Amino acid sequence: MDRIDLLKTFVTVVNEGSFTNAALRLNTSNQLVSKYISQLEKKLDVRLFNRTTRKIHLTEAGYQCLQHANHILESMNDMEGQLGLLSTQVKGTLRVSAPVSFSTLHLSSCLSAFQKQFPDVSINLQLNDRKVDVVDEGLDVALRAGVLSDSSLVAKKITTIKLALCASPSYLKKYGIPEHPSQLKPEHYLEYSHVNYENEESELIQALKANAQKHTPRLTANNGEVLSDVAAQGEGYVLQPTFIVAEALKNQELVSILEDFVPQSISLYAVYPHRKLVSSKLRVFIDFLCEFFKEEPYWDQ
């Protein structure tokens, strides 16, 4: 029996005037009520009631205990009420971490639409391509692309992310269109430094990894937009998600190559700490992301 329940039993006895009436109010036995009062007296090391055959009377310690108990229980009720409002009302601040390029290219329009629909929710957005610790950094949710390994977090899929190996028409005219990963020129690879293909078994990735061990890539950067722009200028080839290169592919500034060898699609996830007690502001935010980007996102259509 925890202390809050002991205090509730004590206050009920006082309010009902007897152990028997308290037992009826609490839907329990007279013996159990007596046991709980004894436990509370033992914990506090005081006598709370003077008992006669017909009545009970609070001792001086009992009066003091009643004042504290009422205050504690009222505070508990207030806290439960306030937290209950947080779980049902869509308001407050959401602390969100998201990848840089995805956010600058696509998330801003989503956030604008979200806040028009939910004006009482404030967004504190932190852009970072590194893997953040959601709990340690006090975040409500992080958007992550790729394969997730942290089982202590809850992950909700937002959308599918396709990958494309790209080069400019001028580059392909100069060096030819490769038909197999072995024909790629490793010194022309424009490498994204944050990517982790440790468990990727595709032939293309294996070739890129093997080449990287022998040759220093022409350019390594932690931003996919920069790499894609350099590729569009004819300086090499790049493996990037289509949310970055889709526009360049449509405008024929880049051309997709070796499509049969490109790794399988990955996913964008909303990652958050707890499956239970998810606030309404977080729940509607994740649902909004899923509806906005859908299974097949607009940049791939």
Q: For 199-253, what is each residue's pLDDT tens digit? A: 556 777 777 766 666 777 888 898 999 999 999 999 999 999 999 999 999 999 9
Give the number of other CB atoms < 10 A from CB of residue 225: 15
What pLDDT is recorded for position 108? 92
Name the least confident of 77-81, 97-101, 282-286: 77-81
And the tokens for 286?
Answer: 């994740």
Alpha helices in 143-259 (DSSP H): 169-175, 203-214, 224-232, 242-250
Residues 167 and 287 occupy one common structural domain: no
Q: Are 100 and 69 members of one domain?
A: no
Range with the lowest mean pLDDT among 8-22, 69-83, 150-164?
69-83
| Residue ranges in 89-202 assigned as alpha helix (H) | 100-102, 108-117, 169-175
pLDDT at 81: 61
Q: Report helix, strand or coil for 282.
A: helix
Residue 301 lies in a domain: no
Residue 100, pLDDT above cutoff 70: yes
Do 156 and 270 lie in one domain? The reply is yes
Whether residues 10 and 78 share a domain: the answer is yes
128 and 245 housed in the same domain: no
Residues 74, 218 share a domain: no
Whether the CB-CB separation of 257 and 177 falls below 8 Å is answered with yes
Q: What is the pLDDT of residue 264?
A: 86
What pLDDT is recorded for position 128? 87
Note whether 273 and 133 are same-domain residues.
yes
Number of folded domains that form the chain: 3
Please indicate, yes or no, whether residues 20 and 63 belong to a single structural domain of this protein. Answer: yes
- Residues 41 and 172 occupy one common structural domain: no
Could you tell me if residue 178 is inside a domain? yes
285: domain CATH number is 3.40.190.10
State mean pLDDT over 139-168.
86
Based on the domain organization, do 175 and 231 belong to the same domain?
yes
- Structural domain boundaries enclosing 124: 92-161+266-296
Co-location of 211 and 254 in the same domain: yes
Please give the model's pTM, rounded to 2 decimal places. 0.68
Q: Are residues 179 and 213 in the same domain?
A: yes
Burial state string for 16-36 with b = 16 or more CB within 10 A and e = fewer than 16: bebbeebbeebeeeeeebbeb
Q: CA-CA-CA-CA torsion for 214, 215, 216, 221, nearest 10 degrees?
A: -90
Contact 114, 288 (CB under 8 A): yes
Q: Does the residue 172 lie in any domain? A: yes
% of the chain surpassing 70 pLDDT: 88
Query: What average pLDDT is seen over the chain?
Result: 86
Q: Rounded to whole angstroms, what are the CA distances from 76 to 5, 41, 83, 243? A: 12, 21, 11, 48
pLDDT at 177: 95
Question: Tokens representing 120?
Answer: 């009482």
How many Cα atoms are found within 13 Å in the side-chain-facing hemisphere of 197? 22
What the block records as the tokens of 77 is 């009720």
